[in-house]
Structure 1
Amino acid sequence: MHFAGAVRRAEILPIMHVSRNVVITGTALIILLLAWGAWSLMPQRIIETAPPPAVTHDGDLLRIRAGGPLDGQLMVEPVTETLSPHQVALPAQVITSPGQSVDIHSPVVGRVANLYVQTGQHVQKGDVLAILYSGDLAQAWSDDRKAQAALTLARQAYRRAVGVLNVGGNAVKDMQSAKNDLEQAQAEATRAHLRLQALGTDGNAGYQPLVAPVSGIVTSVSTGVGQNVTDMTAALMNVSNLDTVWVQASLPESLLPMLGTTMTLDAAFPSQHCNGPVTSQDGTIHMDTRRLNLYLRCNNLQGTLRPGQFTTATLNITQQSQPLLPKTALLMDNDQVSVFVETAPNAYRRRFITISYEEGESVRVLSGLKAGERIITHGAILLNDY
């Protein structure tokens, strides 16, 4: 029995050993499967190599990599030149032509007897605008008549003195005295007559006419029938000839250096357009506005333009041929302005330039560029930090 039990134990031991190996192997396989599953579920890391830089430096030259992020973002165009004048917009207004706006003053003290015009009325040169009763005018007529009478008497006395001298009945000094009296009488008669002419009378003693000195429009009336005129320096009315008017454009003091010898002005109004060479300009700057006034003569035969009317005038200043660049090509660095110039395909070099006037969305170049050179006109800012 002991032998039989030993045999059974000997048979069972190998079986148990095989079973243990199977379990260990299975467990190892399960662990490997679980590890593989966990690894497959983890995000995979892709190791990438760094791309070449978009911009490389070759001294002061910037080279753009073909196919890079900047390729196709830069617009390159040739520099062009322009002969067009420089244009400056200026505030402007219509004014009366010099010498064509006349204030009407009374040459004598008196009272307004009749008034024949009103504001806005058209008159012709020589038309009577008003009549004044005037004691001063009556005095002038009296002085003229007395001067003429004295002249007649002095002339007779001189003839008589000459006749008496010729027959030997008078001294030479008497003839000379008569001649002196005649010359003084002639001078007084001339003065009195010129006084009447200056007053512009029509032959009616005591009635002083106010006459239109130019053809035009009565722009103001500051008197009325029955008013006593005691101040001969006060304007009673104004007459302005508006067949030709001037456009006055005000140029700021800061723009004086750009003035040239050849300039034109354009002024647009709802009813017409005025343009032509600058007619005149002030010799001094106005102290209150710090501006210099430029003038353009403009025909106004239809009477559509009125003094005081405002507009914007364009001053055209003739310029020499200059390169013209769009503002988008400029890079600002403090007080310096630069652009990128193409030296070869995808190769650019920064160049500093000097600019002058702005022309809308473009600027004129004084130095640093010439016509035909190719520059980056759009997208240059992308290279500014390289």
Structure 2
Amino acid sequence: MRVSRNIIITGIVLIALLLLWGAWSLLPHRTIETAPPPAVTHDGDLLRIRPGGPLDGQLTIEPVQETLSPHQVELPAQIITPPGQSVDIHSPVVGRLANLYVQTGQHVQKGDILAILYSGDLAQAWSDDHKAQATLTLTRQAYRRAVGVLNAGGNAVKDMQSAKNDLEQAQAEATRARLRLQALGTDGNAGYQPLFAPVSGIVTSVSTGVGQNVTDMTAVLMNVSNVDTVWVQASLPDTLLPMLGTTMTLDAPFPGQTCHGPVTSLDGTVHTDTRRLNLYLRCNNTQGVLRPGQFTTATLNITQQAQPILPKTALLMDNDQISVFVETSPNTYRRRFITISYEEGETVRILSGLKAGERIITHGAILLNDY
């Protein structure tokens, strides 16, 4: 009887335990999660990337390259007429325009007659020349007579000296009158003043017409320009003056022709109105494709010594400071501040802070910027 009671009690306890275990297994259990290690840890000024972490494989590491290519600067440029090859035509005398033989755009040769003026001043110059020549002839004859009479003993020395003085004055006046005609460029027709082309080229402007009275000898009547050779004028900002070197070339593309070559000349001073220095390139234009006034964007190539060069994607900007992340060992990086010179398309040149061969983060550095 006692054994049966013990067996019943034991069975009840086992059943109770089974029921408690079943109830406990049906209850929701809370899993305690442990935090993963950080993706980036600090070790002084070093940043360590956890292998297998979220940043592992997101960074591109490349060595710093070095370049010998020239620095290229894009500058506004235009075609201009070479110095001394664009000549304004003025009238050397006042008068009235009788004939005009050219029009804008016409090609002329040196010495061609451009126009003719009726001029009272020219008639006066011819009259002065004729009178001076007549006076010279008369005084020369008088001097010869005075010398002959003196040699025959029938005249005083002072008479011969007076005749000689008159001859020298007449010679001076004749020379002046003839040089005046030569300066006017006359062709021998009294009263008709021709205007000659001083250079071969194109008539770029005409600001007069037949019948116009020319009363101002400083007024420009027309312009003739020789454009067989033209100059490309490129304007360099004064902020870039320190980079100018002794070896520079210019590339200036135009429709139908590209001008290329060493810089021919440059201004001695900076233009105060634009704060720019003009550089010049001589360009052959025998085909007449280029016209003064055409604009383009020229490329100035400045020879440089070997310099480290970086892609822009490696740079981190923090106000006025520029930095990169340099690899010190696998998965370990240090921020380093650098100085850049100027942009080369998608790259920049390094003035200080990096050397060729050092390994840096070229893509993905922004992911470490906030650590």
Aligned counterparts, 1:326-345, within 5 A = 326-345=311-330
Matched pairs, number: 362
1:119 to 84, 88, 104: 104
Q: Which deviates the most, 343-352 or 205-214?
A: 343-352
Q: CA deviation at 1:60?
A: 2.2
Amino acid at match of 1:282: D
Q: CA deviation at 1:58?
A: 2.7
2:135 to 140, 150, 154: 150
Deviation string, structure 1 residues 63-111 (Cα, Å, up to 9, x no partner): 2221111111111111111111111111111111111111111111111
2:229 maps to 1:229: no
Matches of 2:64 and 2:21, distance apart in 1: 71
1:253 to 232, 238, 243: 238
**SS at the partner of 1:349?**
strand
Q: CA deviation at 1:330?
A: 1.3
Aligned counterparts, 1:219-298, within 5 A = 219-298=204-283
Aligned counterparts, 1:363-378, within 5 A = 363-378=348-363
**SS at the partner of 1:125?**
coil
Structure 2 gap ranges (5+): 1-8
2:317 maps to 1:319: no
Structure 1 gap ranges (5+): 1-20
Superposition misfits of 4+ residues, deviation over 3 angstroms: 27-38
* Distance verdict in 2 for CA 1:343–1:30, change over 3 Å: closer
Amino acid at match of 1:135: G
Aligned twin of 2:113: 128
Aligned twin of 2:63: 78
**SS at the partner of 2:209?**
coil
Amino acid at match of 2:295: F
Amino acid at match of 1:195: R
Amino acid at match of 1:167: A
Q: CA deviation at 1:138?
A: 0.6
1:50 to 19, 35, 56: 35
TM-score normalised over the length of structure 2: 0.92
**SS at the partner of 1:303?**
coil
**SS at the partner of 2:172?**
helix
Matches of 1:171 and 1:344, distance apart in 2: 118
Aligned twin of 2:163: 178
Matches of 2:30 and 2:237, distance apart in 1: 69
Aligned twin of 2:91: 106
Q: CA deviation at 1:172?
A: 2.1
Q: CA deviation at 1:132?
A: 0.8
Identity fraction in percent: 87
Amino acid at match of 2:256: S
Amino acid at match of 1:328: T
Q: Which deviates the most, 232-241 or 51-60?
A: 51-60
2:286 maps to 1:301: yes
Aligned twin of 1:165: 150
2:336 to 351, 366, 375: 351
Q: CA deviation at 1:157?
A: 1.6
Deviation string, structure 1 residues 251-288 (Cα, Å, up to 9, x no partner): 12222222222211110011100011111112222222
**SS at the partner of 2:141?**
helix
**SS at the partner of 2:114?**
strand
Deviation string, structure 1 residues 324-369 (Cα, Å, up to 9, x no partner): 0111111222322221111222122222221111111111111111
Aligned twin of 1:3: none
Matches of 2:56 and 2:245, distance apart in 1: 45
Aligned counterparts, 1:197-236, within 5 A = 197-236=182-221
Amino acid at match of 2:103: Q
- RMSD between aligned alpha carbons? 2.1
TM-score normalised over the length of structure 1: 0.89
Q: CA deviation at 1:131?
A: 1.0
Q: CA deviation at 1:169?
A: 2.3
